[in-house]
Amino acid sequence: MHYEKLMRDWSGAGRGGGFALACIVCGRAAENDRASRCGHCGGAVDAIHDIGAVSLDPGPSPLRRYFDLLPVRRRKNLFWFGDGNTPCHAAEGFGRRTGLPHLFLKNESTNPTRSTKDRIASVALSRFSELGVGHLVTASTGNSSTAYARGVQLIDGIEMALFCGRGYHHRLNYPDHPTVATHLVDGDGPAVAAAARRFAERTGAVCEGGFFNLARREGLKLAYLEAFDQLPEPPDYVFQAVGSGTGLLGGYKGAVEYRLLGRLPALPRFMAVQQEGCAPMAAAFREGALSIEPRHIVAAPRGPAEAILCGDPAASYPYVRHACRTSGGRILAVGTDEIRAVRDLLEETEGIQVCHSSATALAGAVRMRREGGLPARARVLVNLTGGDRVGWPTPQRFTVVDPRVRGAGAGVRSGARGDEG
Ligand SMILES: Cc1ncc(COP(=O)(O)O)c(C=O)c1O
Ligand SMILES: [Zn+2]
């Protein structure tokens, strides 16, 4: 991965700000503004900002504050849905109980739909709208769809189809709306992604891209930039719960940018945390594997951290591995009991309620400290990426997609509540 070299090449030389789109694997320029993968090698395309021209705006909107580090060309195209500006505070009580005296928590559960994914909605919808995209389709385990649905409902000009496994319906928390279409798929993660792709082919909707949507990574990056600006001293370690690793790679890119800007003295060690019931990246990393092999794939992902149940992260693993390795971090997995205990302790000591995915990241730090892999003096930042949404609505109008039925449109039947049996 070539972030640093690309950024150095693009910076200065009188380019006058802005960003270029380039493949972070082979370094070639992207074929066009909408390309999310390299036409040459298939690598992820990213926005390479002119670091020499970055200035930060002190205003209330994180999108304006970090505009020079966002993949949007004109400020007038920004949509901000009120996300960000989340607290980052010293967790002294929790730290005392776990031997982590310099522990800081970035509490992303205070975002409008209780997860860091609200940042994706703002940045990605700004970018898609600037690119003239009016119809999007995506697949998720609930949090990003909920954030997107809220964003789409707040603006004109973009409609969106949201695909999700039927078992995750309770995690879709938005009311019915004319510009949001909900599709529940009878199947697992790959079946949901395939159904979304087929829908795009049939309707001409643009696939939002998931991990390969650079605006997702740039949106999630903002949690880190804010935290770096809020912390009294730069972190030595950061911990993030990882499903696909989109958030982790965004944070890593932000750290590289901040280091080049002189706002961080060094990269913190990036620690990616999974749960034992679904830890394909941790398994591959432990073996030193360069890619996810069939033996690492988890066919039936399980565990309390539902947002990170991604059994086959083959496409994103090499990027996550690189970010963790080059920063001196690693990918690890923690058990269900550890996740539950940490979640309870956080509520008891800090009064913060988070989801099991957030607790997974924190449990990673606790585990490493206990096992001696984290010195007591280390400054540790944990990204608490979300909280549970209790008592929120779920869409009542949806279609049910049966992936076993082949053919365009086949296997789709209209649903309404009650259709779920
Ligand atoms: C609360 C929460 N934490 C962590 C993640 C992990 O995200 P990623 O797929 O970027 O690794 C997600 C993704 O849905 C999430 O919703
Ligand atoms: Zn390439």
Q: Which CATH number belongs to the domain containing residue 133 in this structure? A: 3.40.50.1100
Confidence of residue 205 (pLDDT cuts 50, 70, 90): very high
Shared domain check, 142 and 30: no
Q: Which domain holds residue 49?
A: 1-53
Q: For residue range 340-380, what is the model confidence (pLDDT) as tens digits?
A: 999 999 999 999 999 999 999 999 999 999 999 999 999 99
Give the model's confidence band at 420: pLDDT under 50 very low, under 70 low, under 90 confident, else very high: very low
Q: What is the pLDDT of residue 416?
A: 56
pLDDT confidence band for 414 (50 / 70 / 90): low
- Whether 337 is in a domain gets the answer yes
Residues 139 and 39 in one domain: no
Does residue 408 carry a pLDDT above 70? no
Residue showing tokens 């695909």: 163
Residue 2: what pLDDT? Answer: 83
CA dihedral 283, 286, 239, 259 (to 10 degrees): -130
Whether residue 249 is predicted with pLDDT greater than 90 in this model: the reply is yes
Interhelix angle 214-230/246-260, nearest 10 degrees: 60
Across 374-388, average pLDDT: 98
Percent of the chain's residues with pLDDT above 70:
95
Q: Give domain status of residue 293, yes or no.
A: yes
Please say if the pLDDT value at position 13 is more than 90. Answer: no
- Shared domain check, 349 and 225: yes
Report yes or no: 192 and 139 within 8 Å, Cβ to Cβ. yes
200 and 224 co-located in one domain: no
The neighbour count for residue 41, using CB atoms within 10 Å, is: 12
109 and 123 together in one domain: no
Domain assignment present for residue 46? The answer is yes
Does any domain span residue 328?
yes
Q: Is residue 64 part of a domain?
A: no
Pocket test for ligand 1, best of 105, 113, 143 (most atoms within 8 A of CB): 143
Asked if residue 400 has its Cβ within 6 Å of ligand 1, the reply is no
Residue 157 lies in a domain: yes
Please check whether residues 109 and 125 belong to one and the same domain. Answer: no
Domain co-membership, 267 together with 408? no
Provide the pLDDT for residue 12: 64
**Same domain (yes/no): 177, 235:** no
Mean pLDDT (whole number) for 156-168: 96
Q: What residue type is 22 in one-letter code?
A: A
Q: Which residues contact 201 (CB under 8 A, 6 or more apart)?
A: none
Mean pLDDT of 13-34: 88
What's the confidence (pLDDT) of residue 255?
Answer: 98
Which-ligand-closest: CA of 27?
2
Domain count, the chain: 3
Decide whether any atom of ligand 1 lies within 6 Å of the 274 Cβ. no
- CA 313 to ligand 1: nearest atom: 9
Statement to judge: residues 135 and 267 lie in one domain: no
Q: What are phi and psi of 141, to 5 degrees?
A: -95, 15
Q: Tell whether 262 and 356 lie within a shared domain.
A: yes
Q: 304 and 343 in one domain?
A: yes
Write down the mean pLDDT value for the chain: 94
Query: Is residue 169 one of the residues assigned to a domain?
Result: yes
Q: Of the ligands numbered here, which is closest to the C-alpha atom of 388?
A: 1
Q: What is the mean pLDDT of residues 6-22?
A: 81
The answer to the question of residue 71 being in a domain is no
N-terminal to C-terminal alpha carbon distance within the chain: 48
Same domain, 261 and 142: no
